[in-house]
Each structure stands twice: as C-alpha cells, then as structure tokens.
Amino acid sequence: MMDSSVKIINEWDIVAARQLGRNVAKELGFGTVDQARITTAISELARNIYLYAGQGEITIEKVENGAKKGMTIVSRDEGPGIPDLRKVMEDGFSTSGGLGAGLPGVKRLMDEFSIESTPGEGTLIQSVKWLR
Amino acid sequence: MNFRDTMLDEYKEILKTYINDQTEQALYMSQKFSRKSIEYKISPEEMISLHKTSIMELEPELSESLLLSLDILLEVMMSYGLAYREHQSLRTIQRELINEIEVAASMQQTLLGTQIPRIPSMDIGAISVPAKQMSGDYYHFVSHENGAISVAIADIIGKGIPAALCMSMIKYSMDSMPEDSQAPGDVLERLNRVVEQNVDPTMFITMFSGLYNPETHIFSYSSAGHEPGFFYHADTGVFDEMQAKGLLLGVDKKTKYKEYEQKVEVGDIILLMSDGVTECRTEEGFLEVDTLIGYIKKYIHLDAQDIADKVYKELEYLQDFQLRDDFTLIILKRTS
C-alpha cells in the first residue's frame, strides 16, 4: 500500500497536492476526465485548509475492496472546525460568493464522502473514488 | 442501446461530416447531440474528453500542441460542470418547494372557506382571486341566529406566505367571536386587539366589517382603513362611496371604530372590495373609478354572483390577465 501526504501551508502546496493526486490517479489507470475530477476535489479540499484552517494535510492512499480498486483523499486540519455541517453541505451556500465548488462539489466529484468536524479542534474529510 | 455506449461514434460522425464539408446539417446534428447529452447527464468535462478522443481518432496527424490545449479546456470546464450539477440539484429543490406551496395554497383555500348566506331579501355574490398562489385577501360571512348577516373583508398589507399565515389567525379570531358581538365596530375592536398582540409590527391589516339587518333593512358598517365600498341607489342610479374612517388593525390597541348606517331599499346594491380591484393597473395607469362603475352598471341587472364574476372578467382582461394584487369583490343586492 502506497501512502503519502502533502502539508498545506501556502497556496503552492495546493499544486503539490494536486500533482500527487494526479500521479496516483494515472498510476491506477483513471481516465483523463476522472483525473480532472480527482484533482479538482483535491484542490477544493486543499484550498479550504489554506483559506480557513491555516494549515493541515492532504493524504492520498490507494485502496482495494475485493475486486474494486480506487483511491482515498483524506483532508485533515486542526483549524477552527465547522459549526454547522448541514449548512456547508447545502448547495448554493459556499458557491454563491464565488468561493468555488465547495464541499457539495467535492462530494459530487467523488464516489464516497464523509466529514467530521469539531469546533475548536478541526476537520477530517475522507473521500473515495473507485476505478470503473 | 444506451446513448453512453454510442455517443463516441455519433459524435465522431458529426465531426467527420463537418470537417469534410462545413454544412449547416452537421451543425444542426450537433445541436441535437447536445440536447441528448444533457438528457443523459453528460458533463461538460466529459464532452471535452469525448471531443479529444474523437479528433485523435479522426486526425492522427493533429499537432501535439492543439491536443494539449484541450487538457486546459477540460480543466477550465470542471467548474462549469460542477456549477451545472449544482444547478440541477437546486432545480430539484425548487420543484419540491413549489409543490409544498401548492399544497399550502390549497390548504389555505379550505381553511379560509366561508359559506355565502342565503336569505330571502338579499342576493349575495363574492369572488376572490389571489395574485400569486397564496392570498392576502379574506372575506367572511356569518349568519346570525336572529337572521342578521355579518360580512367582513380584509386585506393584509404584504403578500404571499406571511400574509396568508396572518390571515389564518384573523379567520380563527372571527370564528371564535361571541354571538352577541355582532356590531361591526365591536368586531373590529376585538380583532384589532388580537392583531396588535400577535402580529409582527411591520404587518398591517385593513378591514371592513358590516352587518345587515333584514328586519329594518339597515346596513351598519365600520372600517379599519379599508378601501371604501360603493353604494348604488336604485331610484336615482347614483353610486356613492361608502366613506368610513378608522385606523388600520394592529396599530394601536385602544382604537375605537365608528359605526355608520345606511338604509337599503329594494334594488340598492352594496359593493365591497379589496384594493386589488381599485388599484388594478393597466397600460394607461390606475383604473379610474368611473371605469369600474361603468362595468358594474353594465351588469347591474344580473344576479349578485354574476355581477361579481363579470366585473372580474372585465378587469382581468383590462390587465392582460396579469393580476398584480389579490382581488376580492363582494356584491350585496337587495331583492325584496
């Protein structure tokens, strides 16, 4: 199992996280459209860390589930956390200000998505894309 | 076969036709193709990828830089794709909301329903049409044990759902009004206290309250800032405005409402309305009182309900079938 992380501190780290994600996606055999979806999801998650948490980490893992193969993106930060998860998962909430696809966008780009957040402690987002 | 399985071949065919000779036909085919791809939820980024694959197969000699440029296009289209999918999901939510409002509107119709009283000496007709789904107009009749008839017409300043919710409260208070307080001034005073205590201070209600006594044929009435009604004198053919002074409901809980009286002779008509009638706007501006009276005169020989229906039809036509405000018109015509 390969497993690697990128620390997100400044905007250039977003590019590094995207690059890591793209390499893994290519290696696994994802097509160009899915590669673009995966990297867009990584961008969104990394940007959220950069903009709202200050710093954190994006971890990319390959996963296997029986015959299914895929990759997991984990975003972890110790920032202020999200007080109202329902609100941020609502369509039109984060996008209205032109902030990007937001978390609902990430959820759409990936096959599986889960989020845990504790105000004052940080946020953990895990998402999976399966190879078809 | 599924569109997803055949779309590459279909798209390649369109592309090939157009590259060979630039016909409008091929462009039309691509328009049809895009409709179908939307139907099958093909995202913009998938379209770019489909285009790239097609052109690579059709023109293997194509320059590398041109193909690379499509990678940038695909990346740029990602956000458009997400915005598109978000739009789709918001549309679903919107449809659900519209359905809910429709249910609420039909509930309101049931809730606010009132029976038009049938008595020998008075022919009564009423029409109420909301501008949007939910009405902020309200009318109510009560047949009292002594044979008298109460009529009330109210208009909430404000429209839509907040106005409709407020209406329900008015209806409830009217229903729980004691049988001994029939006098229009008392009715308004009671309702004014309810509104003052329970309604948001930015919401105001105008109301006209009347009581017809079939023994004396006297119509007594009070108004809380409501649109004045008209009184038609059958013997002279003259229309008088039924002026009545009174403060809107909900402004001051100590407000008293003055009562006015009008003797009703055979053939006389009382017309009560909401401002949706008088403020009905046409291309030439507001409706003139004379125009309104003209329409009423035109149908004055008909039954009360027919007068109300016909006048509504005329005003609806005058406004190009677009109501800007809730419309309510009540006609009381003494027949004997």
The C-alpha atoms of residue B170 and residue A17 are separated, in whole angstroms, by: 61
Least confident of A30-34, B174-178, B181-185: B174-178
Which of A107-116, B159-168, B274-283 is most confident?
A107-116
List CB contacts of B233: < 8 A, sequence separation 6 or more.
B239, B240, B265, B268
| Residues of chain A contacting residue B90, judged by C-beta atoms under 8 Å apart | 91-92
Contact A92 B49 (CB under 8 A): no
Contact A36 B75 (CB under 8 A): yes
Q: What is the dihedral of CA A9, A10, A15, A20, to 10 degrees?
A: -10
B135/chain A closest Cα distance in angstroms? 30
Which residues in chain B are classed under CATH 3.60.40.10?
112-334
Contact B86 A36 (CB under 8 A): no
Instruction: Read off the pLDDT of residues B51-79 as tens digits, 9 standing for 90 and up.
Output: 999 999 999 999 999 999 999 999 999 98
The C-alpha atoms of residue B31 and residue A67 are separated, in whole angstroms, by: 40
Kindly tell me if the per-residue pLDDT of A16 is higher than 80: yes
Q: How far from each other are the two terminal CA atoms of chain B, in whole angstroms?
A: 76
Query: Does residue B89 sit at the A interface (CB-CB below 8 Å)?
Result: yes
pLDDT at residue number B282: 64
Contact A40 B82 (CB under 8 A): yes
pLDDT at residue number B129: 85
B83/chain A closest Cα distance in angstroms? 7
Give the chain B residue nearest A44 (alpha carbons). Answer: B79
The C-alpha atoms of residue B209 and residue B332 are separated, in whole angstroms, by: 13
Instruction: Read off the pLDDT of residues A35-89 as tens digits, 9 standing for 90 and up.
Output: 999 999 999 999 999 988 889 999 999 999 999 999 999 999 999 998 888 888 8
Give the chain B residue nearest A35 (alpha carbons). Answer: B75
Q: What CATH code would you report for A3-130?
A: 3.30.565.10
Which residues in A have their CB inside 8 Å of a CB on B? 31-33, 36-37, 40, 91-92, 95, 100-101, 104-105, 108-109
pLDDT at residue number A97: 47
- Hey, which CATH number is domain B3-99, 1.10.1240.30, 3.40.190.80, 1.10.238.10, 1.10.3720.10? 1.10.1240.30
Query: Does residue B9 sit at the A interface (CB-CB below 8 Å)?
Result: no
Kindly tell me if the per-residue pLDDT of B280 is higher than 70: no
B76/chain A closest Cα distance in angstroms? 10
The C-alpha atoms of residue B76 and residue B74 are separated, in whole angstroms, by: 5
A9/chain B closest Cα distance in angstroms? 24
B322/chain A closest Cα distance in angstroms? 31
Taking the alpha carbons of A82, A87, A89, A91 in that order, is the dihedral positive or negative?
A: negative
A21/chain B closest Cα distance in angstroms? 15
Kindly tell me if the per-residue pLDDT of B184 is higher than 90: yes
| Residues of chain B contacting residue A36, judged by C-beta atoms under 8 Å apart | 45, 74-75, 78
| Residues of chain B contacting residue A94, judged by C-beta atoms under 8 Å apart | none
Contact B93 A109 (CB under 8 A): no
**How many residue pairs from chains A and B have C-beta atoms closer than 8 A?**
42
Contact A92 B90 (CB under 8 A): yes
- Secondary-structure class of domain B112-334 per CATH: alpha beta
Compute the average pLDDT of residues B21-34.
Answer: 93
pLDDT at residue number A3: 56
For residues A37 and B45, the answer to whether their CB atoms sit within 8 Å is yes
Share of chain B above pLDDT 70, in %: 96
Average pLDDT, chain B: 88
For residues B297 and B331, the answer to whether their CB atoms sit within 8 Å is no
The C-alpha atoms of residue B270 and residue B334 are separated, in whole angstroms, by: 9
Contact B78 A36 (CB under 8 A): yes
* Closest by CA position to B152, among listed B190, B119, B110: B190
Q: How confident is the model at residue A96 (pLDDT cuts 50, 70, 90)?
A: very low
DSSP string, chain A: --EEEEEESSHHHHHHHHHHHHHHHHHHT--HHHHHHHHHHHHHHHHHIIIIIS-EEEEEEEEEETTEEEEEEEEEE-SS--S-HHHHTSTTTTGGGT--SHHHHHHHHSSEEEEEEETTTEEEEEEEEE--
Give the chain B residue nearest A40 (alpha carbons). Answer: B78
Share of chain B above pLDDT 90, in %: 47
Contact B75 A91 (CB under 8 A): no
The C-alpha atoms of residue B246 and residue B249 are separated, in whole angstroms, by: 9
B81/chain A closest Cα distance in angstroms? 10
Give the chain B residue nearest A93 (alpha carbons). Answer: B86
Which residues in chain B are classed under CATH 1.10.1240.30?
3-99
Contact B78 A37 (CB under 8 A): yes
Q: What is the ipTM of this complex?
A: 0.83
Query: Does residue B78 sit at the A interface (CB-CB below 8 Å)?
Result: yes
Instruction: Read off the pLDDT of residues B130-143 as tens digits, 9 standing for 90 and up.
Output: 887 777 788 999 88
E runs forming strands in B164-245? 204-213, 218-224, 229-233, 238-242
Give ∠ CA B149-B248-B194 in degrees, rounded to 5: 70
Residue A10: beta bridge partners? none
